[in-house]
Amino acid sequence: MSDFFSALLLQAGYNAALVAVGAALLGFAAGAGGSFLFLRKRALVSDAVAHATLPGVGLAFIVMVAFGGDGRSLPGLLIGSAISAWLGLLAVEWMVRRTRLSEDAAIGAVLSVFFGLGVVLLTVIQSMSQGRQAGLEGFLLGSTAGMLFQDAVLIAGGGAIVVLLIWLLRRPMTLVAFDPGFAAARGVDVRRVDLAMMGLVLAVTVIGLKLVGLILIVALLIIPPVTARFWSERAEAVVWAAGVIGAVSGYVGAALSASAPALPTGPIIVLISATLFAISLLFAPARGVLASILARRAFQARVHRRQGLLALSRSEPIHDPLTVKILRREGLMRADGVATDAGQAAGAKVARDERRWSIARKQHHDTALTGRYDGLTPIEDVFTADEIAHFDTAMMRGA
Amino acid sequence: MGSEFVQFSLTPILIGMFAAMACALPGNFLILRRQALIGDAISHVVLPGIVVAFLITGVVSTWPMLLGAAGAALVAVILIEAVRRLGNIEPGAAMGVVFTSLFAGGVLLLEQSDTSSVHLDVEHALMGNLEQLIWLRAEGWGSVLDPVALSHLPPELPRMAVVFALIAVLTAVFWRPLKLASFDEGFARALGLPVSLIGLGLVTSAAAAAVAAFDAVGSIIVIAMFICPPAAARLMTNRLGLQVAWSLAFACLSAILGYVLAGYGPLWIGASGSVSAAGMVAVVSGVILALACLFGPARGRVGVAAGG
């Protein structure tokens, strides 16, 4: 446990601290970058991008070895992965535009075929003499264990650059993600912004390869934005909240993994963000499950209260247990089912409002106003005092 | 095509074919319903399923693992639906959240438990072991009729054949409701068809195909076969019956060509050894899909001139 706290406070060695900061930056970039995709309803495009990096990693290794290099140089492998991921993206785009296949079919096709090609290349590399110790399998699930100092610098620096780019491009990207039609009408080049968005996601994927691996980087691009969505209705707030959620997951995950060698970094980071997601799903205000249950119950109580008061005003017996409970709790009804004074007054008011509403619906053909009759909104909220007085005179005349 | 072929290549090719067809068949309907990525999600969550099954039983044997995988697939489908409804989240994102989390959980369990000594690792789950499903007792084509040799067939072969036959029969029996529910859900509902039940049945049979196939051939083939052959077939014809037939043909072709290329391809270009058969099958299916995208007679979107 103390190991964990020292890692959390960046006291567990320079390399571990760098990895933690890098993971936080990467998590921020992934969360914020992923939310543009999520708001654009293209979350799973990142799945195709991530899987499409594998053949690039393999080819880059083969090419570097063929030119007499080491083959394991991380920048070289990352450039290769970026190129093949870009080709995968183009393939998805092309299939969606040029054929009648839907986007999910295009994504699935690209991810499986590119991944298959990558696996083929990995077996080729294993049969090469330089390939036996290549450790390229680490790209599948990520590995911090074999991470060199330069690798950690690359992740931290790359993450910082991507975060900066997201900050610079936040306005057009938010606009396009939220409402592409409106963005186009405002003169934003939607296609170019889309490309920039994809480029950023690609960058996040490539940088995250070494840390979380290509299968799990998808999680960092999808889970934080979905989590953030529970907390806000505003697009820009979602983007930054997703960034923070991603950063927290990355930072805590890296610290945990540094304190216990048996805990692999990638899965830990993903599981922390999944935990944050589950908490948000259940407890977020407004959109969480608990909040909506409470809202439902409050609504139910209001409906029952009103029906109960109407019944009291007509001196009808009340049998519904929930209605009885609510009325008695508020002191509107006695135990024997007779209305108290307060109950009579409240019932009379509700009954009067009901009659006012029926007049209002006869007189007003403005459905925007009378459409608000739901039996719960007080009539004073919809009509002015003058109008209500007018209804009352009409009521007197009718009586 | 001598005895060596029967011994080393016949059974893997047959298993690959049955696995490919078993996945491609439900894939046709998943693609029409825009649920193509269900296969991807299921094949990812299979991993935690196997790990949990191993942790509970402590043995690496087929049935507990298949049950674990099936259970995990079911849990994933339920979780995706729950997240989608409770959180009011679009299906793609809900799927992404669930399958990545479960996969991460599986990897963590795998690393935590001491399973590395037994033959249970991520690469195996991804790539399968198609190459190792050989029929050692075969001594030539005559063995196909020899009951003693037949009893030593790799058990994956009859299992995969049965799963494919089951899915084929189910598809044939429920053909009309499946077709209606996939093309026009509203109309199907108006006819009184149990649309959500049909959808659940489809996803369940897809999961069954995925779970049965991943053990033998790995999840790469599963994902590729769910999508590529049906997608290519969809670009060949406008009729569902023909599309299904095309997809089965493409699936078989991918399995055969992929296996042969993986086993003998390196030799032909003068290299030694072989490459991953599962990966190669996926690559071949991708090439077929690319050709269909370029030349398929029904490739254009409705309302867009072909090639436009």
Whether the complex's predicted ipTM is more than 0.85 is answered with yes
Identify the pLDDT of residue A377: 74
Tens of pLDDT, residue by residue over B247-285, are: 999 999 999 999 999 988 888 877 777 888 899 999 999
Average pLDDT of the residues of chain A: 86
Taking 80 as the threshold, does the pLDDT of residue A74 lie above it?
yes
Q: Given a cut of 50, is residue B306 above it in pLDDT?
A: no
Q: What does the alpha-carbon distance between residue B227 and residue B225 come to, in Å, rounded to a whole number? A: 5
Question: Residue B38 pLDDT > 80, yes or no?
Answer: yes
Specify whether the CB–CB gap between A5 and A213 falls below 8 A: no
- The pLDDT tens digits for A116-156 are 999 999 888 888 776 665 677 778 777 766 677 888 888 88
* CA pair distance A87, A54, nearest whole angstrom: 12
CB contact under 8 A, A226 and B87: yes
Give the pLDDT confidence of A327-355 residue by residue, as tens digits: 888 888 887 777 788 888 888 888 888 88
Measure in Å the smallest separation between the Cα of A232 and chain B Cα atoms. 13
| Nearest CA distance, B92 vs chain A (angstrom) | 6
For residue A118, give how far its alpha carbon lies from the nearest alpha carbon of chain B (Å): 7
Spatial contact of A204 and A29, defined as CB atoms under 8 Å apart? yes
* Nearest residue, CB atoms, B96 vs list A111, A218, A289: A218
What's the gap in Å between the CA of B206 and the closest CA on chain A? 15
Interface A-B, measured as beta-carbon pairs within 8 A, has a size of 205
Residue A177 near chain B (CB below 8 Å): no
**Is B297 touching A (CB cutoff 8 A)?**
no
Confidence tier at A399 by pLDDT (50, 70, 90): low
Concatenate the DSSP letters of all residues of B110-123 into one string.
HHHTT-TTSS--HH
Question: What is the structure's pLDDT at A367?
Answer: 66
Residue in chain B closest to A286 (alpha carbons) equals B87
Distance CA B160, CA B66 (A): 12
Query: What is the tens place of the pLDDT at every residue in A15-37?
Result: 788 888 889 999 999 999 999 99
Cβ count within 10 A of residue A387: 16
Q: Is A43 on the interface with B (CB under 8 A)?
A: yes
Percentage above 70 pLDDT, chain B:
93
pLDDT (tens digit per residue) in A98-108: 899 999 999 99
Q: Measured at the alpha carbon of residue A360, what is the angle toward residues A359 and A363, in degrees to the nearest 5?
A: 85
Q: Is B235 on the interface with A (CB under 8 A)?
A: yes
Q: How confident is residue A60, by pLDDT bands cut at 50, 70 and 90?
A: very high
Between these two residues, A358 and A93, which has the higher pLDDT value?
A93
- Chain A nearest-CA distance from B145, in A, is 35
Percent of chain A exceeding pLDDT 90 equals: 38
d(CA A333, CA A41): 52
pLDDT in the model for residue A381: 76
Q: Is the pLDDT of residue B307 over 50?
A: no
In the stretch 263-282 of chain B, residues with CB closer than 8 A to chain A read: 266, 271-276, 278-282
The beta-carbon neighbor of A120 closest among B89, B103, B275 is B275
- How many Cα neighbours within 13 Å face the side chain of A218? 34
For chain A, say whether B227 makes contact (Cβ under 8 Å).
Answer: yes
pLDDT over 60 at B304, yes or no: no
- pLDDT category of residue B66 using cuts at 50, 70 and 90: confident
Q: For A207-243, what is each residue's pLDDT tens digit?
A: 988 888 888 899 999 999 999 999 988 888 999 999 9
Is the pLDDT at B118 greater than 80? The verdict is no
* Interface contact A132, partner B, CB < 8 A: no
A267, B105: Cβ pair inside 8 Å? yes
Q: Which residues contact B114 (CB under 8 A, 6 or more apart)?
A: none
Question: Is the model more confident about B179 or about A367?
Answer: B179
Angle at A375 between CA A372 and CA A377, to 5 degrees: 55
Which chain B residues are within 8 Å of A137, Cβ to Cβ?
A: 123
pLDDT at A127 (0 to 100): 80
B5-23 pLDDT, tens digit per residue, is 777 888 899 999 999 999 9
- In chain B, residues 122-161 whose CB comes closer than 8 Å to chain A: 122-123, 126-127
